[in-house]
Structure 1
């Protein structure tokens, strides 16, 4: 049993258990042509969320629960992506994947069921505005939802910083005693009152469909048969704004797959998440695999994930077994109020369901908390007598499987429908027959054809895998099916090599964090080519501000790609180079971004980061040159690199009041860590010049960097450490930018500088890690990894990594890994599912650099 989680059998630290697990995997596939390769999996990590289907920033589904059946499968934004799995053993059904969410009955509907009437004020109202007897006759009538452009189910635009909303209603005097729920969506700071009593005060946050049970004393606040008021105030701090709320009652319907299996374990490797369940007298091994292989862009870009299953008897007897999977159109919409079409199709031995919105607003929306609502989601399986498929109602399809184990075709091959209040499902079931201890297996595939992926400087571009329209989704599904066995082997080899390298570099806790980061980081990007054929690999700032191609996301993400495929890092940098070299960006420093996802038409971020982004681009250009052994990529962009290097020489030593990558901390001047960034950028330019044979330039800029480093030490010195800002004694901060002096072999700073900092940091750690600086107790996990890499030995490195591992193992915030959290209680502060966790690979990059 885990010491951190006593009594839970879904994790184990026993080496003997994992030997048995490996033997089980080999035995369960005994009837296949090849034994399934044994893959080293995580042992001690309870992930805050487990990656299931991780293709790109839009098709990204996770389990945010300890057991796969405890909660619905969710998009990284938290929206439900309906995916349910059940197995029928000798007539008894066990649910192992997802959770039925029966539609609640609307007592006071939210906007996804139609616009609702309210009144609002955009100026501060008089006191008592939240009370039922307040006179709101001078307020403006409007319909919910209220929000900024692009928000879900928007009716009344709201563009000011604050809005106050009142919604009056009556409750039926005959309302049943069934539980009631107040459901609300907001962005950002939100206060909500029911009949004058405050029920919600979120602080700086944004949520969709948050649920507050109205039970006990809260339910007594409602006046049956009389006037009630819900009043809300929302302050939009940044980005989008939203106000929507309603009251709902539990459905009178009952779950069909109410009996859950027993989860015995969950473990991960770089490309796989594996679950094992006890389902009566059989064991089910379930594996999600997304082959995000960095060195194979065709496969990495292909929008197909696998869900494979092996079932075997555990009591020496044969058992009659059927297995079932269903998906809903929630995968293909931004909100469930959108109308969808569903159709059944076939291709080359495969049967699939395909669903998408009837509107098909291709690349029509941009922003952060959005889901794709163009293109088509696919649920695909084999076309064999053992597989049956059905399209129909949420409960009816399940009832049919529970009764017979076979999906009876309803005759419907195509439908157009709304998902509220009656959710349709696409389902498939396999007859596994009499299952013995030798086992039986199969797989399904989940895919998404987004038609066009990115608008790149006003031209809509297709994903890499489409080859400018020459490859169809049918072709992709056929290739994914044909190549499956080989990809299983290739992924196993990659996973094991990555694990072994990570353990060697930083130990098992470090390796587990790299495993958790791998799919998250890659799936936060989209891969395509521009019209000239250049590789473009654009990131999305998930739950930050939705920017696309952000340079200070590229920077922390770089280590993973420098190790496995520098061409992908070039693909992140190419848009920024083009932006400047085309004249579309004419400032003497690098841009922050090239737009808001998925529209990459030019910077949309409100403030520049001159030293930050220029330093980032120069450092990464040098890192690519070191990884490839030549500076060809930098030579192609030499003119603009020169402009940026000169900007850093003039402005980098003691930066003025400006933002750095930690922009959430606000503007501040004399930032010592940002100064290091500038020095590293200048040293990088010198290194590149040397590699290109420009010896005079190399000597000049290298000497400049060394001179600045000497001044830095004098200006930043604070006794046993170095300051946060040059002008504030008694302050400190992580100097994570200094890691490049070590990685790129500059030796610009005296090595004693880094070791003085490391010794000081060890005195400042909290339970869950090292704070970012002295101002707050929060931290950034990617920067902890870089700071830890400054240590000269593995043991010291692990002193920083173990609290970080503990954080994700114990965090009460169940979302795809955050990189911004509190070191005191492991709670998320902001950000999730971002690409920056690829920075965890910095220690592995150091090991690779040492070998060279």
Structure 2
């Protein structure tokens, strides 16, 4: 697929046109494209903590625009650069600073681990490198809940250069009840902001209150450091006048900032800041506290932050290799548009995970990963969130699949969940992973039973560790037996797209049951289960109970009852993807060819609606569907990839990579059902399910990053 420097979506026969996102705006080059939002701080364990983003449509005003938490609430994080006594606003400073000028953005770039902005500040060039390591096989590095900001100033030979950055109490999740503590250790200047009186696991508006915001820096070889807290007008004016801060950090009041300044002396250089959120108690798992993996090595925050700075050269070197390798693999798999998608996806997924160990023993042999169902109900380790996201872990770190499932299967093994089908999640709201002993949850019987079996199969296929699956054989057999009974005789129930409401005899669910039963049989060398899965597939496809009369597509619902015989109804049958990925051959090749031919016929103004009930589409499920139905010369696969890329780059969306958008006009004409324009996003943002974008790359094999 050829990259276009800009794209105008063609929505014939409708008259809607979207403004093209230009590759060059005000002399600024956006590389590889202008995304909806740039991740700034997206390190591990920032699920509901201190993520920070810049909307793409505001980045040209970088010196004055404030970053946002993933919900859209604003944060304060400012950067100033002082060159020969002239102060330049570089990032996040909308307010007046005496004698200051605004730098001019010249380039904005993102990779899988970095967001880099280059600005012109008089004769100087200032580069801001927001770096969140993605190192899933290095548990220590991946679990550190911090991100880097490196500020580099060049082109200033014989000039005097100082650099300053600050944050405020918005990062704590509240205002007016903040405690600030400052310390120095191992050369690190460290501010810790906390909420006075916050209780463990307390949060508000999806932001945690019970931990400590960390803001720190350490001198480079050529810099000296000063610090100060107080009103932003006073602290920034102090820096503007003197290039240093006055060292007063003893007080903190509502509206204050904490600031750190570096004096680089002559000829510029680079300085690095760290920002993050530390929680001694990270997750409540079955009434036991779990903490970050890194705390086994660095139980105290100052030592953890000091190590984070020590680790910067190695983390940076690793990131450059991974950035290049991911881009190359993605381009080889499906072109440059696909690469643009995957590189924007990566930090969002890994930034949404907590890599934990027991808080009491700090036993690194007992590792679990926890996910929050972001942007919806906040459930913990939801199976139908892990399932759509699993391709990214399958490709980059297959062990994560097991680590995500461990909290679930260990809870199920207690017998406290008594229903015959698999549980939906292990906690109603993050960080309470306390199970559902009362049996009250959002039941998705066929959905989650199939998901659990297929996720275990994916883990074994990627790692060869069948022994772990054997440990849970009895449990998995229970859910396979459930699928035999109810997988093709579905009662009215919910599926993963629960907002659509419950239905009976959902074709997509029956396909999942068929594939899962075949996978279970192959996993445990029991042909009776595989044969049952093949029998389901034969009913659905060969005998045609799930096909329209002309046998062109799978219908939304199957069966001979007249109420299901709606040939115009359809579903994007993403659940057939594991059949292709694992070469299970549950369905014949002709079924995949049928889908590849059908999908282009229902393509709307901005994509393919996920099924005939809705006007929206899904970035991750359509990624699965595209991977499962390439068609001649991969045309259908590319159609789906280009739809996601077109949505990502159409210039009308600003949240952290939302995974749902309006693909066709709804009842309101040229808008979706919620009044949003076709091509606009539908509420969801910053969710780890976008790991499903890796579905095409996963076809190249597991564990591709050694």
Report TM bin, short chain.
0.7 to 0.9
> Cα 1:811–1:612, aligned 2, differ >3 Å: closer, same or farther?
farther
**In terms of Rg, which structure is larger?**
1
- Is 1:45 the counterpart of 2:33 in the alignment? yes
- Is 1:269 the counterpart of 2:111 in the alignment? yes
Task: State whether residues 327 and 339 of structure 2, in contact with CA within 8 Å, keep that contact through their aligned partners in structure 1.
Answer: yes
C-alpha displacement at 1:2, in angstroms? 4.8
Secondary structure class of the residue paired with 2:701: helix
Secondary structure class of the residue paired with 2:63: coil
Provide the C-alpha distance between the structure 1 equivalents of 2:59 and 2:679, rounded to a whole number of angstroms.
17
C-alpha displacement at 1:700, in angstroms? 0.7
- Is 1:782 the counterpart of 2:610 in the alignment? no
Which of 65, 76, 85 matches 1:71?
Answer: 65
Provide the C-alpha distance between the structure 1 equivalents of 2:679 and 2:259, rounded to a whole number of angstroms.
39
> Cα 1:639–1:606, aligned 2, differ >3 Å: closer, same or farther?
closer
1:459-510 Cα shifts (integer Å, max 9, x gaps):
122111112x862111211211112111111111111111111111111111
Q: TM-score, normalised by structure 2?
A: 0.88
- Is 1:309 the counterpart of 2:151 in the alignment? yes
C-alpha displacement at 1:849, in angstroms? 5.8
C-alpha displacement at 1:416, in angstroms? 4.8
1:720-768 Cα shifts (integer Å, max 9, x gaps):
2121111132211101010111111111101111121121111222243
Which of 8, 21, 26 matches 2:25?
Answer: 8
> Cα 1:286–1:257, aligned 2, differ >3 Å: closer, same or farther?
farther
Query: Pairwise mapping of residues 607-686 of structure 1 onto structure 2 (< 5 A)?
Result: 607-686=442-521
Deviates more, 1:49-58 or 1:764-773: 764-773
Provide the C-alpha distance between the structure 1 equivalents of 2:276 and 2:573, rounded to a whole number of angstroms.
42
- Is 1:548 the counterpart of 2:539 in the alignment? no
- Is 1:522 the counterpart of 2:371 in the alignment? no
C-alpha displacement at 1:346, in angstroms? 0.6
- Is 1:707 the counterpart of 2:559 in the alignment? no
Which of 204, 210, 213 matches 1:374?
Answer: 210
> Cα 1:787–1:820, aligned 2, differ >3 Å: closer, same or farther?
same
Query: Pairwise mapping of residues 427-466 of structure 1 onto structure 2 (< 5 A)?
Result: 427-435=259-267, 440-466=269-295
C-alpha displacement at 1:606, in angstroms? 4.0
Provide the C-alpha distance between the structure 2 equivalents of 1:93 and 1:849, rounded to a whole number of angstroms.
50
Provide the C-alpha distance between the structure 2 equivalents of 1:476 and 1:470, rounded to a whole number of angstroms.
5
Provide the C-alpha distance between the structure 2 equivalents of 1:53 and 1:636, rounded to a whole number of angstroms.
38
- Is 1:298 the counterpart of 2:140 in the alignment? yes
Deviates more, 1:609-618 or 1:624-633: 624-633
User: 2:126 corresponds to which residue?
Assistant: 284
User: 2:11 corresponds to which residue?
Assistant: none
C-alpha displacement at 1:639, in angstroms? 0.5
C-alpha displacement at 1:257, in angstroms? 8.0
Provide the C-alpha distance between the structure 2 equivalents of 1:8 and 1:605, rounded to a whole number of angstroms.
52
Task: State whether residues 622 and 687 of structure 1, in contact with CA within 8 Å, keep that contact through their aligned partners in structure 2.
Answer: no
C-alpha displacement at 1:592, in angstroms? 0.6
Task: State whether residues 183 and 189 of structure 2, in contact with CA within 8 Å, keep that contact through their aligned partners in structure 1.
Answer: yes
User: 1:251 corresponds to which residue?
Assistant: none
Secondary structure class of the residue paired with 1:448: strand
Secondary structure class of the residue paired with 1:69: coil
Task: State whether residues 755 and 791 of structure 1, in contact with CA within 8 Å, keep that contact through their aligned partners in structure 2.
Answer: yes
C-alpha displacement at 1:260, in angstroms? 2.3
> Cα 1:257–1:75, aligned 2, differ >3 Å: closer, same or farther?
farther
> Cα 1:361–1:850, aligned 2, differ >3 Å: closer, same or farther?
closer
Provide the C-alpha distance between the structure 2 equivalents of 1:430 and 1:641, rounded to a whole number of angstroms.
57
Provide the C-alpha distance between the structure 2 equivalents of 1:78 and 1:349, rounded to a whole number of angstroms.
35
- Is 1:59 the counterpart of 2:50 in the alignment? yes
C-alpha displacement at 1:286, in angstroms? 1.2
User: 1:32 corresponds to which residue?
Assistant: none
Which of 353, 358, 366 matches 1:534?
Answer: 366
Equivalent pairs, count: 647
Provide the C-alpha distance between the structure 1 equivalents of 2:235 and 2:442, rounded to a whole number of angstroms.
52
C-alpha displacement at 1:48, in angstroms? 0.9
Provide the C-alpha distance between the structure 1 equivalents of 2:147 and 2:620, rounded to a whole number of angstroms.
27
Secondary structure class of the residue paired with 2:208: coil
Q: TM-score, normalised by structure 1?
A: 0.73
Provide the C-alpha distance between the structure 1 equivalents of 2:420 and 2:257, rounded to a whole number of angstroms.
54
Provide the C-alpha distance between the structure 2 equivalents of 1:451 and 1:10, rounded to a whole number of angstroms.
46
User: 1:319 corresponds to which residue?
Assistant: 159
1:157-211 Cα shifts (integer Å, max 9, x gaps):
xxxxxxxxxxxxxxxxxxxxxxxxxxxxxxxxxxxxxxxxxxxxxxxxxxxxxxx
Task: State whether residues 514 and 840 of structure 1, in contact with CA within 8 Å, keep that contact through their aligned partners in structure 2.
Answer: yes
- Is 1:829 the counterpart of 2:689 in the alignment? no
> Cα 1:96–1:735, aligned 2, differ >3 Å: closer, same or farther?
same
- Is 1:98 the counterpart of 2:115 in the alignment? no
C-alpha displacement at 1:668, in angstroms? 1.1
Task: State whether residues 63 and 94 of structure 2, in contact with CA within 8 Å, keep that contact through their aligned partners in structure 1.
Answer: no
Deviates more, 1:450-459 or 1:527-536: 527-536
Task: State whether residues 97 and 240 of structure 2, in contact with CA within 8 Å, keep that contact through their aligned partners in structure 1.
Answer: no
User: 1:22 corresponds to which residue?
Assistant: none
Task: State whether residues 342 and 355 of structure 1, in contact with CA within 8 Å, keep that contact through their aligned partners in structure 2.
Answer: yes
Task: State whether residues 595 and 629 of structure 2, in contact with CA within 8 Å, keep that contact through their aligned partners in structure 1.
Answer: no
Provide the C-alpha distance between the structure 2 equivalents of 1:682 and 1:70, rounded to a whole number of angstroms.
56
User: 2:334 corresponds to which residue?
Assistant: 506
Provide the C-alpha distance between the structure 2 equivalents of 1:712 and 1:269, rounded to a whole number of angstroms.
43
1:81-125 Cα shifts (integer Å, max 9, x gaps):
210111122222221211436xxxxxxxxxxxxxxxxxxxxxxxx
Provide the C-alpha distance between the structure 2 equivalents of 1:272 and 1:822, rounded to a whole number of angstroms.
29
Task: State whether residues 10 and 266 of structure 1, in contact with CA within 8 Å, keep that contact through their aligned partners in structure 2.
Answer: no
Provide the C-alpha distance between the structure 2 equivalents of 1:256 and 1:330, rounded to a whole number of angstroms.
24
C-alpha displacement at 1:447, in angstroms? 2.7
Secondary structure class of the residue paired with 2:59: coil
> Cα 1:373–1:631, aligned 2, differ >3 Å: closer, same or farther?
same
Task: State whether residues 164 and 259 of structure 2, in contact with CA within 8 Å, keep that contact through their aligned partners in structure 1.
Answer: yes
> Cα 1:381–1:605, aligned 2, differ >3 Å: closer, same or farther?
farther
Task: State whether residues 769 and 800 of structure 1, in contact with CA within 8 Å, keep that contact through their aligned partners in structure 2.
Answer: yes
C-alpha displacement at 1:11, in angstroms? 5.3
Deviates more, 1:76-85 or 1:380-389: 380-389
- Is 1:815 the counterpart of 2:655 in the alignment? yes
1:676-724 Cα shifts (integer Å, max 9, x gaps):
111111111111112xxxxxxx211111111110001111111221211
1:319-361 Cα shifts (integer Å, max 9, x gaps):
322111011121123x224x01112101111111111111131
> Cα 1:328–1:850, aligned 2, differ >3 Å: closer, same or farther?
closer
> Cα 1:287–1:383, aligned 2, differ >3 Å: closer, same or farther?
closer
Secondary structure class of the residue paired with 1:828: coil
Task: State whether residues 257 and 398 of structure 1, in contact with CA within 8 Å, keep that contact through their aligned partners in structure 2.
Answer: no
C-alpha displacement at 1:633, in angstroms? 1.8
Task: State whether residues 421 and 446 of structure 2, in contact with CA within 8 Å, keep that contact through their aligned partners in structure 1.
Answer: yes
- Is 1:399 the counterpart of 2:392 in the alignment? no
Provide the C-alpha distance between the structure 1 equivalents of 2:491 and 2:596, rounded to a whole number of angstroms.
27
1:19-64 Cα shifts (integer Å, max 9, x gaps):
xxxxxxxxxxxxxxxxxxxxxxxx3421111101112202211112
Provide the C-alpha distance between the structure 1 equivalents of 2:98 and 2:592, rounded to a whole number of angstroms.
60
Provide the C-alpha distance between the structure 1 equivalents of 2:345 and 2:410, rounded to a whole number of angstroms.
29
> Cα 1:257–1:560, aligned 2, differ >3 Å: closer, same or farther?
farther
Provide the C-alpha distance between the structure 1 equivalents of 2:99 and 2:392, rounded to a whole number of angstroms.
41
* Structure 2 unaligned regions, length at least 5: 8-19, 559-563, 665-677
1:242-274 Cα shifts (integer Å, max 9, x gaps):
xxxxxxxxxxxx555863211111111111111
C-alpha displacement at 1:775, in angstroms? 1.7
> Cα 1:700–1:331, aligned 2, differ >3 Å: closer, same or farther?
same
User: 1:181 corresponds to which residue?
Assistant: none
C-alpha displacement at 1:277, in angstroms? 0.6
Provide the C-alpha distance between the structure 2 equivalents of 1:520 and 1:850, rounded to a whole number of angstroms.
19
Secondary structure class of the residue paired with 2:380: coil
Task: State whether residues 654 and 672 of structure 1, in contact with CA within 8 Å, keep that contact through their aligned partners in structure 2.
Answer: no
Structure with the bigger RCO (C-alpha within 8 Å, sep 6+) is: 2
Provide the C-alpha distance between the structure 2 equivalents of 1:850 and 1:637, rounded to a whole number of angstroms.
23
C-alpha displacement at 1:432, in angstroms? 2.1
